[in-house]
Amino acid sequence: MKPINSVEIVEQFWAAVWKAQNPQAIDRFVVDDFVLTTGGVDVVSKRKFKEWASAFMEKINDFQFEVLETFQNADGTRVASRWRVTGRNNGVFGAPADQRPISFTGTAVWAVRGDGKLLHNWVERSSLELFQQLHDRGCSNG
């Protein structure tokens, strides 16, 4: 059996959902019982994932998503991506919405089903990178 091109699937997901800022597009890519694991928490179900993505995007004005690189294992069942988010702080991670520029990177590892549907996404964000940006601003503001 020929491996699927899971890099293409994940990059289509990035473009349709995150780059286009369209959480409703999640429906085209993930299974109903999809799991997002991020920050030590599991967000379970397609519906909950769409709610989570919408809420996340609302916390960053001028939201921009850039894929840095994406690659897959031999059979296409796992994909890894490195990415960068930039924009203006609108209350991300509970910080006061000061509208200052922010930028942080992250890594996503995906489980992909044989038919190309996304099953699970494990996300690690460079929260320290963002925390330092937000903290440094807070300290300089007194």
Can you give the pLDDT at residue 140?
Answer: 42
Share of the chain above pLDDT 70, in %: 89
Please give the domain boundaries of the chain with CATH numbers for all domains.
6-140 (3.10.450.50)
Alpha helices of the chain — where are they, by DSSP H?
6-13, 46-58, 127-140
List of residues 6+ apart from 72 with CB closer than 8 A:
3, 5, 6, 7, 78, 79, 80, 112
* 50-62 per-position pLDDT tens digit: 999 999 999 999 9
Three-class SS state of 18: helix
* 91-134 per-position pLDDT tens digit: 988 889 999 999 999 999 999 999 999 999 999 988 666 777 77
Question: Average pLDDT over the chain, rounded to whole?
Answer: 91
Integer Cα distance of 88 and 97 in angstroms: 9
In this structure, what are the phi and psi dihedrals at residue 96, rounded to the nearest 5 degrees?
-60, 140
Residue 142 has pLDDT above 50, yes or no: no
Residue 48 has pLDDT above 50, yes or no: yes
Residue 138 has pLDDT above 80, yes or no: no
Can you give the pLDDT at residue 19?
Answer: 97
Integer Cα distance of 60 and 96 in angstroms: 12
Can you give the pLDDT at residue 81?
Answer: 97
